[in-house]
Chain A
Amino acid sequence: MKYGMVIDLEKCLGCRTCAVACKAHNGQPPGVWWNRVFTPGSKFHQTGVGEYGRMGMYFLPVCCQMCSNAPCVKVCPVGATYYDENGVVLIDYERCIGCRYCMTACPYGVRQFNWQDGKKATEKAHYAHGYSYGWPHKYRDKQGRLVYMPSRPKGVVEKCTFCAQYVNRGEAPACVRSCPANARYFGDLDDPQSEVSRLLTQRGEFRLLEDLGTQPKVYYLPARRSGGERIERI
């Protein structure tokens, strides 16, 4: 099994529901975002770019691209970042020494460091009294490695896990389930019959920074209103 995701940019509304759902479900401390949505080329989200008469606009959600040739896995000196049995790149919170080499290595800017204790950071954000968020239990993968915990220790790196705690129970990741436009698909790339595999044969899918050779397992279907342009490094 090889988990992958397909994001249909034609369907994406840029509403950022996936980013918020991801943040809430995975208990990310204030200032930490595993999943972002922006309007490429534009200073402001949801604002068109281009010249008069030739304006365009599309939205690009970016989370961990789950690279198959992942630079973060390669550089991690202690093997805290690793592939699980489904090709998902995970971080062991108990192993990470906080060297942040992986943040330098990752071309997609998705890795987030805990610059301070998670609980302390949340206190400083002044949420309503008694409010807390995030899946309330620790989650260990099949090998027993701690890849999710509701309150993050300071000094370790975190990022998207493809919602390891849900996928393990047969549910789709939070971003996929919460998207009001159904723009996200999740499934097994090894199975030619899966929805994701079938989508990949149809519309000229592309991946981000493909020429770097990271071989992401997150694919994008182009938005037609941006002229169906391929988004690649120039």
Chain B
Amino acid sequence: MKESKAWIVFLGLIVLAGLVAWGFQLKEGMVVTNMRNPFSWGIYIATFAFFVGIAAGGLIVSSSVYIFDLALLKPLARIAKITAFASAMGAAAMVLPDLGRADRVYNLLLHPNFRSPLVWDIIVITGYALVTLVSLYIDVLPDLFKQKSRLAFPVGGKTEDEVLEISRRLSRVAAYVGLPFAILIHTVTAWIFSTQVSRSWWNTAILPPDFISVAVASGTALVILVSLTVKGRETFQQYAGAYRTLASISGAFIIVHFFFMYNDFMLRWWWGAAHEMEPLLIALRDYTWLHLAEVVLPFAAMIMFLHPGTKNSFRGLYAASLILLAGVYAHRFLLMPSSYNSIPLSLPVPGVSGELWAYPIATGVYNPPQDIFVSFWNYVPSGVEVMVTLFPMALVLLVITLGVRYLPGCYESAVKASLKRTDEKTVSY
């Protein structure tokens, strides 16, 4: 517990540092980022998409318990819901620093434009966060009741069995309500990108299903990671079945993701029209290392999740989850360069067939000797951007840490379980 206090303080400090960096950005303007007019979304929106993805784990695990009758996942459901809620919070916290006028966010409530996928996304993500929160509450209700907590007021005066029954029944309802929401947040987040006819890299019907597969894979990996950390090595055998199931789910969805991704690559390559090939070439040629990361890391994680040697080992699962999350982050970052650096207004070169010439865009910042008009913007996040990104990252970890620490049934069951096992051992001696 002492360790976890130091950890909480550490996370708190990082959140603070991120907020200070954001304050600096607010004061100076977004010129302190490396985004410019031709490359107008960067690591903030990539990280936002990443967070939305890893938020999937919670309801997938808890819904599976009821919808697919996977009772063995039940002990992890609470942790899963906490990670989901935390990630949704992280996504919300990440968009704010991306706004040039964060002081006017209230306009989203006063003047929402219901044709904008951004507005849809805000609605479904808020909905998702609420559903996870409610479903978490329903889940811990019996424990709160036992502890005579005031938070259990809606079931005051009932017997313990009644409360258990209520919790079980409502959990089932939450599972059915939650699953569509879980699917919606990834679909709608993908629509933010895939609706844009100007961006050939995104403008494909494969993007929403691919977002879902990446979300299931990475969201599940996060649940594995957090559960392993919280429940510890001692109880690994006890939950091995649950871990194995989650590992198989994640591994399978990595395969689905690769299938979708290469489907898209295949169509671009086969037809070979310049404006469709260009984004692919940018990923392969200009961002080779990141592209390798987005392929090799998830591939390695997939093997580890499916291989009996690693999927039954504490360390193997731990490593695989981390590797997958890193690979998915690289994948999310690569949403941007291929999209922005193939400038939509690209015209044929007179007299030369098959070649495209990109109409230069003004960067928006006069900073000699840098060119003002560019047709390629080599985007690398600035120091300030990295610092600001740390704020939601640390926030997610903080919410998870506080959640598993203060909500009943995350640590305790682990401790109790290990105690119980020692008891059994004593008896059999």
Interface residues of A (CB under 8 A from B): 29-33, 36, 38, 40-42, 49-51, 54-58, 60, 62, 71, 74-80, 95-101, 103-109, 111-117, 120-121, 124-125, 154-157, 208-209, 212-214, 226-227, 229, 231-234
Contacts and interface: CB of A to CB of B under 8 A. Distances in A.
Given A31-B365, A109-B343, A116-B29, A104 B198 contact: yes
B349 A49 contact: yes
Given A104-B41, A104-B199, A155 B29 contact: yes
A212 B373 CA distance: 24
Contact of B196 (A49, A50, A56, A71): A71
Given A104-B196, A113-B100, A212-B197, A31 B38 contact: no
B112 A77 contact: yes
A106 B105 CA distance: 22
B107 interface: yes
29 contacts: A36-B360, A41-B349, A49-B352, A56-B351, A74-B116, A75-B116, A77-B118, A78-B108, A78-B112, A79-B112, A97-B108, A98-B104, A99-B95, A100-B41, A100-B98, A101-B118, A104-B40, A104-B41, A104-B196, A105-B198, A107-B197, A107-B198, A111-B37, A114-B364, A117-B29, A121-B366, A155-B29, A233-B347, A234-B274
Contact of A98 (B101, B192, B197, B343): B101
Contact of B349 (A30, A40, A113): A40
A33 B364 CA distance: 8
* Among all A-B residue pairs, the 6 with the closest Cβ atoms: A98-B100, A155-B100, A50-B351, A30-B366, A41-B349, A107-B198
Contacts of B362: 31-33, 36, 112
A194 to B, nearest CB: 27
Contacts of B31: 115-116
Contacts of B199: 104
Contacts, number: 211
B361 A234 contact: no
Nearest to B355: A41
Nearest to A118: B29
A65 B372 CA distance: 21
B345 interface: yes
Contact of B344 (A36, A38, A80, A108): A108
Given A77-B119, A115-B29, A231 B40 contact: no
A71 B349 contact: no
Nearest to B351: A50
Contact of A95 (B111, B198, B340, B372): B111
B28 interface: yes
Contacts of A154: 29-30, 100
B351 A234 contact: no
B319 to A, nearest CB: 36
Contacts of A114: 29, 100, 364
A40 B101 contact: no
B360 to A, nearest CB: 6
Contact of A75 (B35, B99, B117, B274): B117
Given A78-B108, A114-B100, A108 B345 contact: yes
Contact of A212 (B37, B198, B354, B361): B198
Chain B interface helix/strand/loop/mixed: loop
Contacts of A57: 350
Interface string B78-95: 000000000000000001
B111 A78 contact: yes
A212 to B, nearest CB: 5
A101 B190 CA distance: 14
A29 B366 CA distance: 9
Given A77-B118, A115-B29, A226 B350 contact: yes
B273 interface: yes
Contacts of A113: 30, 37, 40, 100, 364
Contacts of B197: 71, 107, 212-214
The residue in B107, B192, B274 that gathers the most chain A C-beta atoms within 10 A of its C-beta is B107
A99 B118 contact: yes
Contacts of A101: 116, 118, 192
A120 B367 CA distance: 13
A27 to B, nearest CB: 14
A95 B107 contact: yes
B28 A116 contact: yes
A143 to B, nearest CB: 13
B99 A99 contact: yes
A62 B365 contact: no
B359 A234 contact: no
Contacts of A124: 366
A65 to B, nearest CB: 10
Contact of B345 (A55, A75, A98, A209): A209
B113 interface: yes
Nearest to A223: B350
A109 B376 CA distance: 12
Nearest to A43: B357
Nearest to A31: B366
Nearest to A42: B357
Nearest to B340: A104
Contacts of B40: 100, 103-104, 113
A52 B25 CA distance: 51
B347 A231 contact: yes
B115 interface: yes
Contacts of A209: 344-345
B386 interface: no
The residue in B35, B36, B364 that gathers the most chain A C-beta atoms within 10 A of its C-beta is B364
